[in-house]
A and B are shown apart, each in its own frame.
Chain A
Amino acid sequence: DAKTTQPTSMDCAEGRAANLPCNHSTISGNEYVYWYRQIHSQGPQYIIHGLKNNETNEMASLIITEDRKSSTLILPHATLRDTAVYYCIVRSVSGNTPIVFGKGTRLSVIA
């Protein structure tokens, strides 16, 4: 699986959009971009994934650049409960190999 690079930490004001960047310049054609988050003392939670088109679900939006070398996870209206570590992962959807979690971005939503 390709390597990803994320900022160590970010702050966001409550109610504002949180934009979390991820670089994955070595992504290959059959690899998807996945985002998970881990709220303190809980297991990781799947958020969203995409291949090349932008995706949106009830939790977030995923914007992938045209060259697919980077992406941004957008939480449109961050709440205090969105404070968590956010992991960007690149992997082939057909593979069952274990997800390799990096250090992620620690997002702090501030009142």
Chain B
Amino acid sequence: GAGVSQSPSNKVTEKGKDVELRCDPISGHTALYWYRQSLGQGLEFLIYFQGNSAPDKSGLPSDRFSAERTGGSVSTLTIQRTQQEDSAVYLCASRSQYEQFFGPGTRLTVL
């Protein structure tokens, strides 16, 4: 079956602009996670959604970052007024009982 998909695969934007990153999780997975990975660094947790519960936003680095998950499926991560330090690969993952499946990521470059 289809895995986790993300779009766009690459995004180049100018400092100060807003961006939206999309994640389509595996059908039926109730847990969805966003991470980011800066060049040469480990994965940094951002936010996760579990069913209809309030999302855990504890990893969001600033109030410029927000995410929503519509209908318990597709999720959108929004970064407002992007800064150069936001440049990273943004990874989405969804979870079955035992495994967490990652998407290919969106590479964001802020000029």
**Residues of A in contact with B (beta carbons under 8 Å apart):** 32, 36, 42-46, 49, 93, 96-104
Contact = CB atoms under 8 A, between A and B. Distances in A.
Query: Secondary structure at chain B's binding surface: helix, strand, loop or mixed?
Result: strand
Contacts of A101: 42-43
B105 A43 contact: yes
B92 to A, nearest CB: 8
Interface of B: 4, 31, 33, 35, 42-43, 45, 48, 50, 56, 59, 91, 93, 95, 97-105
Contacts, number: 46
A102 to B, nearest CB: 7
Contacts of A93: 97-98
Nearest to B97: A93
Contacts of A42: 104-105
Contact of A45 (B56, B97, B102): B102
